[in-house]
Amino acid sequence: MRLRTIIVDDEPMARKGLAEDAGEIDFLEIVGVAENSFQALDLLTTLRPDLLLLDINMPRLSGLDLIKSLPNPPLVIIVTAWPEYALEGYELDVMDYLIKPVDLPRLLRACCKAREFYLLQRQASAHPMSSAAIEKTDGYFFVKSGGKYEKLLFRDLFFVEAADNYVMIHVAGKKILVYHTLKYMMTLLPSSHFMKVHKSFIISLDKVTAVEGQTLIVGGTVIPVSRHLKDAVRERVLGMNF
């Protein structure tokens, strides 16, 4: 299985370099290259890619505005020289946010993350789940995934990540994709130990290992904190305001 991929960047050298690096990744198939968002829109319509490697700072229509214009965007990895848009990018559910210059190992890591999500999404689609697919009990809950029920302990859960119509549950040693909303997960998880810190993330307060600016480190993963939630998050995590 190869991810059909489109590259979008208005800088010729950046486009060429990214295409060369992406071409080294055997599970990517480069099906199109665009120099602006309008060309990308045409390619998205005709080629229906699985993955978009997308620059942000482009004339007339930025990469972020391109994502916002798509009713059902493919998986997106942002590749940009502008770190200040990272939070907005994650609020649009991008897979990863890479700062130029990007070396091949970092690009590969981001693409592996996208491939993993793509495969989990396909698996979840092959085993549709009803709203009763998660059953809660004190201290743990059962989740239906891949045609079976798995027991997950609350204490093993690191964070829950929203992605389209699914949520990715990150627990010790594995990730489980289920067809549910983040709102539903909030009703399931005990508020004494879990908190929504972003429109796309619920975290276990017990698993926070560091606070860095407007982000949290949870299980080695950088989790963005929404601006309007930052004071409440800081108070819950550290007992103080930003």
Residue 151: CATH number of its domain: 2.40.50.1020
Mean pLDDT rounded to a whole number for the chain? 87
Using CA atoms, how far apart are residues 62 and 224, in angstroms rounded to an integer?
21
Give residue 80's domain range.
3-124
Q: How many CA atoms lie within 13 A of 46 on its CB side?
A: 10
Residue 129 pLDDT more than 60? Answer: no
Tokens, residue 234:
């800081």
Residue 75 pairs in a beta bridge with 51
Residue 86 pLDDT more than 90? Answer: no
Using CA atoms, how far apart are residues 205 and 70, in angstroms rounded to an integer?
34
* 63 domain residue, yes or no: yes
Q: Which residues contact 229 (CB under 8 A, 6 or more apart)?
A: 196, 197, 198
User: What is the model's pLDDT at position 66?
Assistant: 97
By percentage, how much of the chain surpasses pLDDT 70? 90
Using CA atoms, how far apart are residues 50 and 241, in angstroms rounded to an integer?
41
107 and 171 share one domain: no
Q: Which residues contact 237 (CB under 8 A, 6 or more apart)?
A: 205, 208, 211, 216
* 173 domain residue, yes or no: yes
188 and 114 share one domain: no
Q: Confidence class of residue 125 from pLDDT cuts 50, 70 and 90?
A: low
For the stretch 136-166, pLDDT in tens is 556 888 877 666 778 888 999 999 998 777 8
Helix axes 104-126, 12-23, angle to 10 degrees: 60
User: What is the model's pLDDT at position 138?
Assistant: 65
pTM of the entire structure? 0.66
